[in-house]
Amino acid sequence: MPAANQNSSVILMQNRRRKRSSLFFALHELTTEPLEQTYERIEQLREIQAVLQDIPPQQRERFILHFAYGYSYSEIAKMQRRSAHLLR
């Protein structure tokens, strides 16, 4: 397997693992927090979603990868084949 394909496979596996982990913790938090906090969180997520609809798709993807899934800018740069300093 060429190095580029192998690297892509590793990144894909890491993405899946992170996504499952963050979804699990988000669900756990929703089930253990008070109802009013859950409502506030849902309202905040709706506001964020509305703002994200107004920005370009690649910028939206970067935001979600960084803030929702915890990827560093250098990791996102590799995924999007861009220079890390251009992403910030």
Average pLDDT (15-33) is 61
Q: Residue 47: pLDDT band by 50, 70, 90 thresholds?
A: very high
pTM of structure: 0.54
Under 8 Å between Cβ of 1 and 12: no
> Which residue's structure tokens are 């929703």?
30
Q: What's the whole-number average pLDDT of the chain?
A: 76
Angle between helices 3-32 and 73-80 (to 10 degrees): 130
Q: Is the pLDDT of residue 70 over 60?
A: yes
pLDDT of residue 1: 45
Percent of the chain scoring above 90 in pLDDT: 9
pLDDT of residue 41: 82
CA distances, 66 to each of 61, 70, 79, 88 (Å): 9, 5, 12, 10
